[in-house]
Amino acid sequence: MHLTSQHTGQVQRTTKAGIFVDRQSVNEYAGSMLNIKDVDFSYPGGLPVLDGASLKLDAGVVMGLLGANGSGKSTLLGAITNTIEGDRRGTIEVAPEAIGPIGYATQDPALYRHLTVAENLTHAARLATRRWRVASLVTRAIDDFKLGPIADRTARALSGGQQRIVHLACSFVHAPTIRLLDEPTTALDFETRQTLIDLVARWREQGIATLVTAHYPEDVEELCSTITVLVEGKTYPLGSLRDYLARQSRLGYVERLDADGAAISTELSGPLHSLAQIVEAAAEAGIDASLPLHAIEIKPPALRDYLRRDPSLRGAVEEESK
């Protein structure tokens, strides 16, 4: 059976396993490790969860996947890794240079409770790579994730936070070049969270393509370099986080004192790059200019401020679409 790819325009061969293999299209990827196009997904007997979801994950990029609860973030990760039951349609391309199975750290810690940390890592490594690489990969994971002190403890004896970091180590012990993390910072203490942030930064330098779902904007700001928003099963790439925020309105707070000396705080929004713009925004906000000015603060844009006002980022999506 031969099919012509709609994407590469080249002849592909179908293996016995039904996987379409195209070894000729290396250049097509040009640094993109994972390419998802028009993926639809619905659970058995359920409504569609994904509706033409598309994204392109390049090497060395940490993409934050944002969306409200139930928007389909975890489903998208499940559809990419082929680990959920349902009707899937669309295209998922993995770059020819991608190494090993995709690393996928699910929301819940996935550990055999009767095994030690080192044994869990060994099992995960043996599952995904060749035997001769296992020992060195396990040693490296123990070092990277700072698991040395707990390496010989059984998983059931670990705290919730320790289980989570061991789970992350197991998910990526085989050193995959594509890594998916589903809300990875949940239940991590400050130190462990920082370890993860440092690791993800190192992955970026190493050219690893990482996709992270997160609820908290602080996580996205600290972990991710680009963002994609998922609304009602559709993906909206917002590009570089820094560029996106730079394009957004700044936030301002003006405090005036009333007759009794109490502070009245008013939030401003708008460009707020010059004094004239601030005065204009204050007038629009209905601030009484006759009261004495007590304080004025113009903050640089932060994702959390936008999420506070627009949790689903629907407004951002509409704005970007224009």
Partner 1 sequence: MFRSPLVPAGQASPDSLAVPTAGRGVLAVVGTFSLTEWRALYRGRFPFVWFVVLPAVASAILGPALAGIGGVGQTGRVAIGFGIMFCYMTVNYVGRALYREFDAQTWRRTATAAPAKGGYITGKCLAVLIIGIAQLAIFLTFALTALGLPLHAGVLAGIAQLVLILVPFAMTGVATGVLMFTLIRRAEVFFSITYLILLMLGALGGALVPSQQLPRWAQILGYITPHFWAMRAIDQTTLGAGNWSVVLESSGLLFLFTIVIIGIAVARFDYRKERYSV
From the list 81, 240, 248, 249, which residue makes contact with partner 1 (rule: CB under 8 A)? 81
Closest separation in Å from C-beta 36 to partner 1:
10
Give 36 or 281: the residue with its C-beta nearer to partner 1: 36
Q: Is 157 in the site for partner 1 (CB under 8 A)?
A: no
Contact (Cβ atoms closer than 8 angstroms) between residue 175 and residue 147 = no
Closest separation in Å from C-beta 201 to partner 1:
24
Closest separation in Å from C-beta 276 to partner 1:
50
Q: Is 95 in the site for partner 1 (CB under 8 A)?
A: yes
Q: Is the dihedral of CA 222, 162, 134, 184 positive or negative?
A: negative
Give 106 or 226: the residue with its C-beta nearer to partner 1: 106
From the list 46, 70, 108, 292, which residue makes contact with partner 1 (rule: CB under 8 A)? 108
Closest separation in Å from C-beta 22 to partner 1:
6
From the list 55, 57, 65, 94, which residue makes contact with partner 1 (rule: CB under 8 A)? 94
Binding mask 114-143 for partner 1 (x = CB under 8 A): xx---x---xx-xxxxxx------------
Site for partner 1 in 6-45 (CB under 8 A): 6-8, 12, 17-23, 25-26, 29, 37-38
What is the distance of C-alpha 75 from the center of its chain?
Answer: 13
CA 66 – CA 48 distance, rounded (Å): 19
CA 99 – CA 178 distance, rounded (Å): 8
Q: Is 83 in the site for partner 1 (CB under 8 A)?
A: yes
From the list 51, 60, 112, 234, which residue makes contact with partner 1 (rule: CB under 8 A)? 112
Closest separation in Å from C-beta 7 to partner 1:
7
Give 131 or 322: the residue with its C-beta nearer to partner 1: 131
Q: Is 312 in the site for partner 1 (CB under 8 A)?
A: no
Give 86 or 301: the residue with its C-beta nearer to partner 1: 86
Contact (Cβ atoms closer than 8 angstroms) between residue 255 and residue 264 = yes
Residues in contact with partner 1 by CB under 8 A are: 3, 5-8, 12, 17-23, 25-26, 29, 37-38, 78-85, 87-104, 106, 108-115, 119, 123-124, 126-131, 170-171, 174
